[in-house]
Every structure is written in C-alpha cells, then in structure tokens.
Amino acid sequence: MALRLLHQDPTITISYDYQRDWLYANWTGDQSLESVQAGCLRLLEHLQFERCTKLLNDNTEVTSMWSDASGWVGATWFPMMADAGLEYFAWVYSPNVYSRLSADLSMQQQLGTRPIVLAFDNQELASNWLQLM
C-alpha cells in the first residue's frame, strides 16, 4: 500500500492509499461509543475531502466489544457515508469475537443498499475485493 497519513490518534489511524484511491482506516485497541463515533466522523471528513468511493476498514487490532455503537454505525453513519459518495466498504474482522459481533451488529443495522459492505477475515481478501469493485 502507498499510504499518506491523514489522521492518527490512540484508537484510529486514517490514511489515503493513493495507488488504489481509497481510504484505509486502522482501528486499534479498546473501542467505545465515543471513540467509534469520533473516528467515524473523521472518516466522513476525509472521505469528502479525498472524494473516495471506497474504504478499507481494518479492525484487526481492535481488542474489545463496541456494540453500544453498532446501531449508530449501521443506521446513521453508513447513510452519511453513502451520501458523501462511499460505494464500497470492505470490513476486516478483528480476531476478538466480541469485536466481530459488534461489526456484525453494525452490518445488520445498515438500512440502505449503499454502501455495499462486505466483511473479510484478512486484509488481503478485503483488498482484493475492493480492487475488483
């Protein structure tokens, strides 16, 4: 990946992959409603600024459940991202079973057909799918 760092804090690093023209979000550590909402709103800002249509959302390093944010992610944030131009969202699961359940809850809450969201067990599979879209 050819990444340009856009934002970094203890819970998320956001980069722009200029070779593949997508945002890369690497979430880390324990997540809460506040950290998820703050990170998601940062992603929205950068999606709008970079005019991307794709996002690689990596939860590999997430270590906790964040299900209190799942409803907001699915019902509020995904529509905001779709309105900002997001079309494809590749979600890399955390190995933490509770984080994985939180991701599944978010995807179940997604109200619309946009963006198209698929979950993967590793970054390579997610990247391959995103490149095909």
pLDDT at residue 97 is higher than 70: yes
Judging by beta carbons within 10 Å of its beta carbon (0-12, 13-18, 19+), is residue 4 exposed, middle or buried? exposed
| Per-domain residue ranges of the chain | 3-132
pLDDT score recorded for residue 111: 67
pLDDT at residue 110 is higher than 80: no
Judging by beta carbons within 10 Å of its beta carbon (0-12, 13-18, 19+), is residue 131 exposed, middle or buried? exposed
CATH of 3-132, one of 3.40.50.10600, 2.40.110.10, 3.50.50.60, 3.40.50.10470: 3.40.50.10600
Across the chain, mean pLDDT equals 94
Report the first-to-last Cα separation within the chain, whole angstroms.
17
pLDDT score recorded for residue 2: 87
Taking only the tens place, the pLDDT of each residue in 26-55 is 999 999 999 999 999 999 999 999 999 999
The strand pair at 88-92 and 116-120 is best described as parallel
Q: What is the DSSP letter of 68?
A: G
